[in-house]
């Protein structure tokens, strides 16, 4: 898909890691035994597979996202039907062949993890098919909304992992030795094409100019080149359409009062290369700032007070990832609390991107509300039954009802 070699290796490693995690999890899945109010009765929860899990993934993580879903789905007892992105179909075929061989070597049919290639017509068919017990969709908020409506129309179950307009907030007491590499990785990594990419950088007014200068210097040192070259840190965008979206966003930012500190142009070389870009001077609520552009554009914004910047973090429609940089313990816990970030991923002194597989991955609001990978995400791939067992010779009713 165009990401640099080390990120590609890291993505495959993520699939390996989540398989490792899932194997351990398979021995731990279970429901509680609950106290029954009725003598001689047991109350338990039983978890069973949903059946068939449809998995639609995006171009930007063409291996790992399927790994999160398929590994957890399989240890929950489900079969999988995968539709990868049309532009990364060779990756989907290669991964499916590897999985099929492993399954068949262990006397499990390879078709437990099946693959279908195609475009939106295939995705629509999957969303509308009642045999699809769960549909996990990763992609844009616009398409995700359409998928959710189609699935809900048949009272199906969906897991949505959609867009993000993620912010890093840097307070005056922050360690800038952490801030600069974090902001650089979060904004420039994968050429700005992660759902967790940092798109907004809020800087306290007292350190704004210093951080912008240091960040611009770091941007100038980013090694741009062939993603296969192990020395490259920044590769191309995925498509020509992405290049056009980048240019349109830069132009809108200028029209709305922004200043391009660095970048903003197409790089004159073969491929879909654009310059990583920093824009300053925009208000926090500028329309372009509230628009998720899947490209390496970072909007740098000034703030004065904690309360206002927490509100600005939350004012966008998406709620995926967020991070603050501070040493203030009270502020950290306010950030994690009910009046802090409204995102599914809430970080302190680390970037917005680069999540571990052990935690639940996903976000709120227009990000879709789904959770994948770790923690108790496995529950989404199973159905729960509450079971009451009478092992006595009497028939007491709940709530002390007498029916005689």
* Distance, CA of 220 to CA of 118 (rounded, Å): 40
Q: Give residues with Cβ within 8 angstroms of 277, minimum separation 6.
A: 246, 250, 260, 262, 263, 264, 295, 296, 297, 298
Which residues are paired to 390 by β-bridges? 41
Is residue 161 part of the annotated active site? The answer reads yes
Q: Kind and range of the H or E element at 94?
A: helix 89-105
* Distance, CA of 53 to CA of 281 (rounded, Å): 46
Q: Give residues with Cβ within 8 angstroms of 309, minimum separation 6.
A: 169, 202, 303
Distance from first CA to last CA of the chain, Å, rounded?
70
Q: Give residues with Cβ within 8 angstroms of 54, minimum separation 6.
A: 80, 81, 82, 83, 126, 127, 129, 132, 134, 135, 136
Instruction: Look up residue 342 and give its two tokens.
Output: 């409204």
Q: Are strands 318-319 and 79-83 parallel, antiparallel or unpaired?
A: unpaired
Kindly name the residue from 161, 275, 292, 372 that is annotated as catalytic: 161
* Distance, CA of 81 to CA of 394 (rounded, Å): 47
Q: Give residues with Cβ within 8 angstroms of 377, minimum separation 6.
A: 72, 360, 361, 362, 371
Angle 253-319-132 from CA coordinates, rounded to 5°: 115
Angle 323-63-194 from CA coordinates, rounded to 5°: 30
Instruction: Supply the DSSP string of 251-305, one letter for each residue.
Output: HHHHHTT-EEEE--SB-SSSSS-B--EEEES--TT-TTTTS--SSSEEEEEEE--
CA 165 to chain centre: 11
Q: Kind and range of the H or E element at 150?
A: helix 141-153
Radius of gyration of the chain (CA): 24
Q: Kind and range of the H or E element at 138?
A: strand 134-138
Instruction: Supply the DSSP string of 200-250, one letter for each residue.
Output: EEEEETTTHHHHHHHHHHHHHT--BS-TTSTT-SB---S-HHHHHHHHHHH
Active-site amino acid positions = 161
């Amino acid at each position: 898909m165009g990401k640099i070699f080390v990120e590609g290796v890291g993505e495959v490693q993520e699939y390996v890691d989540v398989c490792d995690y899932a194997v351990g999890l398979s021995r731990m899945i279970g429901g509680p035994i609950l106290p029954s109010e009725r003598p001689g009765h047991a109350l338990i929860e039983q978890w069973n597979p949903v059946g068939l899990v449809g998995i639609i993934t995006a171009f930007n993580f063409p291996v790992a996202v399927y790994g999160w879903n398929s590994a957890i789905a399989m240890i929950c007892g489900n079969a999988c039907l995968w539709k990868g992105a049309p532009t990364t179909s060779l990756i989907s075929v290669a991964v499916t062949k590897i999985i099929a061989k492993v399954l068949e070597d262990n006397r499990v049919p390879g078709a437990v993890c099946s693959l279908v290639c195609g475009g939106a017509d295939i995705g629509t068919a999957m969303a509308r098919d009642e045999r699809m017990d769960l549909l996990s969709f990763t992609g844009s908020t616009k398409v995700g909304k359409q998928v959710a409506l189609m699935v809900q129309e048949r009272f199906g179950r969906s897991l949505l992992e959609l867009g993000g307009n993620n912010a890093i907030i840097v307070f005056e007491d922050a360690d800038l030795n952490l801030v600069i590499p974090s902001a650089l990785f979060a904004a420039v990594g994968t050429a700005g094409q992660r759902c967790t990419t940092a798109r907004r950088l809020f800087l306290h007014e007292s350190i704004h100019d210093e951080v912008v200068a240091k960040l611009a210097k770091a941007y100038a040192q980013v090694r741009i080149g062939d993603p296969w070259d192990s020395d490259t840190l920044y590769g191309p965008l995925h498509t020509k359409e992405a290049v056009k979206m980048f240019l349109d966003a830069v132009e809108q930012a200028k029209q709305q009062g922004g200043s391009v500190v660095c970048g903003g142009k197409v790089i004159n070389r073969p491929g879909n290369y654009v310059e990583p870009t920093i824009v300053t001077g925009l208000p926090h609520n500028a329309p372009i700032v509230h628009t998720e552009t899947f490209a390496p554009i970072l909007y740098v914004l000034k703030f004065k007070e904690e309360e206002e910047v927490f509100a600005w973090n939350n004012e966008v429609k998406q709620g995926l990832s967020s991070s603050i940089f501070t040493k203030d313990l009270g502020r950290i816990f306010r950030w994690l609390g009910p009046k802090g970030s409204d995102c599914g991923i809430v970080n302190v002194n680390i970037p917005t991107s680069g999540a571990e597989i052990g935690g639940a991955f996903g976000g709120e609001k227009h990000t879709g509300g789904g959770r994948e990978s770790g923690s108790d995400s496995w529950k989404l791939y199973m159905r729960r039954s509450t079971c009451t067992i009478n092992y006595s010779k009497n028939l007491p009713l709940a709530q002390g009802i007498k029916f005689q």
